[in-house]
C-alpha cells in the first residue's frame, strides 16, 4: 500500500525524457571527478554534465564540502507543461511530430548565459535534439522579431516559427514559382509552360 501511495504522490511526467542525476566533485585545484566514473575523460565529463541534472560539490584540500550547488539547468515540471502545450504537444522541429521522449533545448545555450525560461526553450524529441547539439540544425531567436524562432538546416533550408506556431518554410529570393495558365484543357506534360 505504501508503494501505491508513493507513486500517487510523485507522478512521473511520461512525455519528457528523464535527466540523469550527475554529482560532480571539484577540488580546490579545479579538477573535476564524477564519483561513479573516477577516471573519466574530459569528453565524458562534458557529455554527462550537458545531458543531466548537475549538482557541483566543491571540496577543500582535506575533502570537506565548501559548497554544494543547486541544479538549475533543467526545466521545472510547470515549464515543461507550458512548453509542451505551446508547441501542440509535439516536437518543435519543422517536419517532426514526435510526442514522446521530449527534451528541452536552450535556444541561447545555458553555458553562454541563456536562461532556463520559457522564452529561451523549445521542446524537441531526442533525435532532433541530437541534430541541434551536433550543429547540423541551427535554432536561433530572430533579433529583429523576438517572437520568431528561426531553424536553419543544411544546404540553407530555413524555417521560421512566429509566436511558437507551426514552423513555416522561408523561401529564398532566388525561388520562382511556376506560373500556370488559368485554363488547362489537357493533362499532357506539353500543356505546362516550359521551365527555364
The domain ranges of the chain are 20-68, 77-166
Highest mean pLDDT among 32-46, 65-79, 83-97: 83-97
Confidence class of residue 71 from pLDDT cuts 50, 70 and 90?
Answer: low
- Please state the three-class secondary structure of 43-82 as a single string: HHHHHHHHCEEEEEEEECCCCCEEEECCCCCCCCHHHHHH
pLDDT over 70 percentage in the chain: 70
Least confident of 105-114, 127-136, 144-153: 105-114
d(CA 158, CA 107): 16
Q: Does residue 92 surpass a pLDDT of 90?
A: yes
**Contact of 74 with 116, CB cutoff 8 Å:** yes
Give the contacts of 83 (CB within 8 A, at least 6 positions apart): 75, 104, 118, 121, 122, 123
The rounded distance, in Å, linking the Cα atoms of 111 and 54 is 13
Question: All 3 cell numbers of residue 164?
Answer: 511558437
What is the pTM (predicted TM-score) of this model?
Answer: 0.58
Q: Give the other-Cβ count within 10 Å of 22's Cβ.
A: 19
pLDDT at 122: 95
Amino acid at each position: 500500500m505504501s508503494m501505491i501511495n508513493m507513486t500517487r504522490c510523485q507522478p512521473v511526467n511520461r512525455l519528457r525524457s528523464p535527466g540523469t542525476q550527475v554529482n560532480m566533485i571539484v577540488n580546490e585545484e579545479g579538477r573535476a571527478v564524477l564519483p561513479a566514473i573516477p577516471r573519466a575523460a574530459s569528453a565524458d565529463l562534458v557529455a554527462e554534465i550537458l545531458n543531466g541534472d548537475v549538482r557541483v560539490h566543491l571540496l577543500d584540500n582535506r575533502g570537506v564540502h565548501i559548497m554544494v550547488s543547486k541544479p538549475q539547468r533543467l526545466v521545472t515540471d510547470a515549464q515543461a507543461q507550458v512548453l509542451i502545450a505551446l508547441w501542440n504537444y509535439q516536437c518543435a522541429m519543422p517536419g517532426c511530430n514526435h510526442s514522446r521522449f521530449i527534451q528541452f533545448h536552450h535556444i541561447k545555450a545555458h553555458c553562454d548565459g541563456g536562461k532556463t525560461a520559457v522564452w529561451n526553450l523549445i521542446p524537441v524529441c531526442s533525435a532532433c535534439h541530437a541534430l541541434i547539439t551536433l550543429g547540423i540544425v541551427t535554432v536561433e531567436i530572430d533579433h529583429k522579431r523576438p517572437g520568431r524562432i528561426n531553424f536553419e538546416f543544411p544546404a540553407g533550408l530555413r524555417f521560421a516559427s512566429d509566436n511558437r506556431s507551426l514552423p513555416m518554410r522561408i523561401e529564398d529570393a532566388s525561388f520562382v514559382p511556376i506560373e500556370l495558365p488559368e485554363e488547362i484543357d489537357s493533362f499532357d506534360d506539353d500543356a505546362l509552360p516550359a521551365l527555364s
